[in-house]
Structure 1
Amino acid sequence: MGTLAEFEKITDAEEFFEFFDINYDERLVQVKRFHIMKKFGELVEKAKGHDMGSDAKLLEYYKFALLSVYKNFENGYSPSAADVWSMFDKPSACGTCSTAGSCNEITEVSNGAHACTSNNSVNF
């Protein structure tokens, strides 16, 4: 496992699995990528408010969180239609990152929709 600084640079789902040395089914990650990363991102955000004592312990929590989320999907978990549709009602404020943790300037752009203004370039 690498450092917290290395973890924070990761942007691809497969890179998270490789970083934590977790075996995964590539096909499952390809199909459920959005849902896996959304749930993992939620757990990462929750951990940011807690003192884990050290970067190593925080990374262990992140590893456990990713493994736990992945195993749920591997064992057949499927988000309900309500979960999926609610994501469209309340999208991440930043469409350029998986956890919106790097957003530092979020502004309302129109009629209740918000966008990250700290990253002016969006790459496709």
Structure 2
Amino acid sequence: MSFQDEIEELESAEDFLQYFELPYEARVVHVNRLHILQRFHDYLDKGAEHLPENEEAQRAVYKQLLARAYQDFVESDAQTEKVFKVFKMAEPQTVFISLGDIQT
């Protein structure tokens, strides 16, 4: 089975962390599992064109990026890291409606 085939079999953040033999705190993963996986995906997307061809070298890069994504949430939290669009949305805006525009 190729490295890419093995990766496609992984489903959870815990699966990825265990596959790459990265130590982790269950508490951090439990609260941030989707954020960690999304950040990992984002890191992979940013460096996709620079990934090595060799599977062992790819595995090392993936491991490094996953460790970085996990560490982001050890040192911070989801609201601060703003991984998902919902956290990036601007605050609600105040809109002015004149009394003349209100019809009863």
Higher relative contact order (CA 8 A, sep 6+): 2
- Identical amino acids, percent of aligned pairs: 26
For residue 94 of structure 2, what is the aligned residue in structure 1? none
Hey, what does 2:63 align to over in structure 1? 63
Query: Please, which runs of 5 or more residues in structure 1 have no aligned partner?
Result: 91-124
Equivalences, count: 88
Native 8 Å contact 1:28 1:74 kept in 2: yes
Computed over aligned residues only, the root mean square deviation of the Cα atoms, in angstroms, reads: 2.6
Q: Which amino acid aligns with 1:6?
A: E
Say if 1:10 and 1:16, in contact at 8 Å, map to a contact too.
Answer: yes
* Cα offsets for 1:63-94 (capped at 9, x unmatched): 0001011112112x12446936634789xxxx
Q: How does 1:79-94 map onto structure 2 within 5 Å?
A: 79-80=78-79, 83=82, 86-87=85-86
Q: Give the TM-score normalised by the residue count of structure 1.
A: 0.58
Q: Which runs of 4+ in 1 moved over 6 A?
A: none
Matched with 1:6 is 6
Give the equivalent residue in structure 1 for 2:20.
Answer: 20
Q: Deviations over 1:103-124 (max 9, x none)?
A: xxxxxxxxxxxxxxxxxxxxxx
